[in-house]
């Protein structure tokens, strides 16, 4: 079985300040982990993915995430928020070798000027 817990339903930051979106996972097998972003009225877009290579993963738009097996965490960070980053973010787990994705409930990122 696999599951994902996103620890915050909403995160508010000011433009130019760091972003931290927290995610913990549970998986019976070696997991693949993903972060997706969903802008209003648009499809989900893959930000980055971890598939058992480097534990620090760099994605698009300056986002990165670190896989920590001992903490079963995969937190998403960005050094400096932009207004365009305001969206909903989903942490996703998939058991190794399978394509079934299990989504967290999402974290809404709000960016104020």
Partner 1 sequence: EAGVAQSPRYKIIEKRQSVAFWCNPISGHATLYWYQQILGQGPKLLIQFQNNGVVDDSQLPKDRFSAERLKGVDSTLKIQPAKLEDSAVYLCASSLATGGYEQYFGPGTRLTVT
| Binding interface with partner 1 (CB under 8 A) | 4, 32, 36, 41-46, 49, 51, 90, 92, 94, 96-101, 103-106
Our measurement of the distance from residue 111's CA atom to the centroid of its chain's CA atoms, rounded to an integer in Å, reads 17
- Cβ neighbours for 34, distance < 8 A, ≥ 6 positions apart: 46, 47, 48, 49, 50, 91, 92, 93, 94, 101
**Residue 42 or residue 113: which is nearer to partner 1 going by CB?**
42
3-state DSSP assignment of residue 12: strand
Q: How far is the CB of 12 from partner 1 (least distance, A)?
A: 18
**Residue 15 or residue 88: which is nearer to partner 1 going by CB?**
88
**Residue 27 or residue 94: which is nearer to partner 1 going by CB?**
94
């Amino acid at each position: 079985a696999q599951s994902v817990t996103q620890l915050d339903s909403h995160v508010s930051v000011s433009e130019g300040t760091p972003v931290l979106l927290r995610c913990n996972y549970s998986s019976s097998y070696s997991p693949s982990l993903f972060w997706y972003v969903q802008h209003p009225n648009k499809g989900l877009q893959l930000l980055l993915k971890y598939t058992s290579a480097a534990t620090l993963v760099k994605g698009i738009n300056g986002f990165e995430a670190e896989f920590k097996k001992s903490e079963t965490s995969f937190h998403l960070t960005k050094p400096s928020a932009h207004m365009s980053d305001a969206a909903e973010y989903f942490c996703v787990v998939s058991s190794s070798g399978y394509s079934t994705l299990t989504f967290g409930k999402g974290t809404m990122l709000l960016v104020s000027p």
